[in-house]
Structure 1
Amino acid sequence: MASRNNDRRARIEEMRRAEQSRERRNRIITIGISAVVVAGLVGFGVFALNKESDKKEQKVAEAKAPITGEKSWNAKKLGRTHVTKTVTYPMKPPVGGDHNQVWMNCNGDVYKEPIPDMNAVHSLEHGAVWVTYNDKAPAADVTKLGEKVKKTPYTLMSPVKDQSGAIMLSAWGKQVTVDSADDPRVNQFFTKYVQGTQTPEPGAACTNGLGAK
């Protein structure tokens, strides 16, 4: 009888040791998996931060880099008076000067018909980039540029039939003619001049002005 009790206790003790061994093994596995997951999350976080940092550095570099073929005017010499009489600008499209007191809506607004120069110049004063095109611009480029403008606050787009280039980009005191919607200078110009350092009135409104919207 005593022998059977001893055997039973021995089996129970053996089962207890086996259970403890399984629990230790499971804890080790759990800790290992957790460590791998944490390491993966940390690695992903570092990767994401590095990627975001690279994007910021790229934008800074684009903002500082000169734009090939860009024309500049002395911003301080461009008039900024609100006037009602018609202003004749020395460049087409205009990049600054005296203008109407009401701005064109420029919150990604795409106009299918020509817009008043004097109102558009006021939009440039607020830090907008104005995309213009004439009849020589391919329809596909006009469509693609329109899509870009619609997604970009502080931009507007309209036809200017008598401008010299097929596709032109203008900001306050700045202008460039590009070859197509895929010309890298398009992104460069947007990055540099949408609410850029050339803006006389940064943060001023681009809504509640004159326009279709």
Structure 2
Amino acid sequence: MKTARKWGLLVSIVVTGLSVLTMSGLAFGVLLGSFAKEPALACDQVPGTPQPFEGRRHIAYDGEKHDPYKSLPPTSGPHSPRVVPPGIYRKPITEELQVHVLEHGHVLLQYADDVPADVVKELERLGRQYPRDVVVAPYPKLGHGIALSGWQRSLRLEALDEAAILDFVKVVPGRYNHQWRNGATDCLPPHPLAEDEN
């Protein structure tokens, strides 16, 4: 009986030790990864158009009233407490969910009702190439064409432009994830009144 207890204790110590080493290694890897990130690209190298900051307040529930978004699609502002993961969606995503997706550093690749089915398949194919970063979904409110959006960043396309889409989805994700990362900024010129106040 004592031998079985000793073996049990020994196995417990080994398993605990291995768990601690594994978790320490993961933590060290995360820290190394965060220090190894390359600095953000200069604003003139980031595709799309910068958009003004509209806040990042979580609304209390889906459907809660809030000020209308100033950009189409929205690129910041009040948003849902829920979030959808990157992937391919066949139904529109509410604007409040769209903004929460962007706050998490992902990008949206959305299309209007007038985009042909074969182009939608191409958009979905492109989105699948970046399964951690891109949400592809219809967005009837666009009225026409294709839109890409990131936090405070947007790009509208009249038709499928694979090079422009890939440029956006390679550069914009992760520039913002609950805050600007690795030296990235909103790329907006300073407000003239802000300069006068200094």
The verdict on a shared fold, with TM-score over 0.5 as the criterion, is yes
Matched with 2:118 is 140
Q: Which has the larger Rg?
A: 1
**Contact 1:63/1:188 (<8 A) preserved:** no
Superposition TM-score, scaled by structure 1 size: 0.57
1:149/1:62 Cα in 2 relative to 1: closer, same or farther (>3 Å)?
Answer: farther
Which among 129, 138, 163 is matched to residue 151 of structure 1?
129
- 1:13-92 map, 5 Å: 65-67=45-47, 70-75=48-53, 78-83=54-59, 84=61, 85-87=64-66, 88-92=68-72
Q: Provide the rounded CA distance (Å) in 2 between the counterparts of 1:139 and 1:62.
A: 36
Matched with 1:163 is 142
Q: Deviations over 1:140-181 (max 9, x none)?
A: 221011012123112101111121541110001011112433
The number of residue pairs the alignment matches comes to 138
Matched with 1:26 is none
Of all paired residues, the percent bearing the same amino acid is 23
Q: Provide the rounded CA distance (Å) in 2 between the counterparts of 1:117 and 1:180.
A: 22
Once the two structures are TM-superposed, the CA of residue 122 in structure 1 deviates from its matched residue by 0.4
Give the gaps of 5 or more residues in structure 1: 1-59, 204-213
**Contact 1:133/1:165 (<8 A) preserved:** yes
The structure where helix makes up a greater share of residues is 1
1:202/1:111 Cα in 2 relative to 1: closer, same or farther (>3 Å)?
Answer: farther
Matched with 1:100 is 80
Give the gaps of 5 or more residues in structure 2: 1-39, 182-198
2:156 paired with 1:180: no
Q: Deviations over 1:3-36 (max 9, x none)?
A: xxxxxxxxxxxxxxxxxxxxxxxxxxxxxxxxxx
2:65 paired with 1:118: no
Q: Deviations over 1:46-102 (max 9, x none)?
A: xxxxxxxxxxxxxx88986253xx321234xx2111113133212221111011111
Q: Which SS does the other structure have where 1:177 is aligned?
A: strand
RMSD: 2.6
1:103/1:202 Cα in 2 relative to 1: closer, same or farther (>3 Å)?
Answer: farther
**Contact 1:62/1:192 (<8 A) preserved:** no
Q: Provide the rounded CA distance (Å) in 2 between the counterparts of 1:180 and 1:151.
A: 20
1:201/1:155 Cα in 2 relative to 1: closer, same or farther (>3 Å)?
Answer: farther
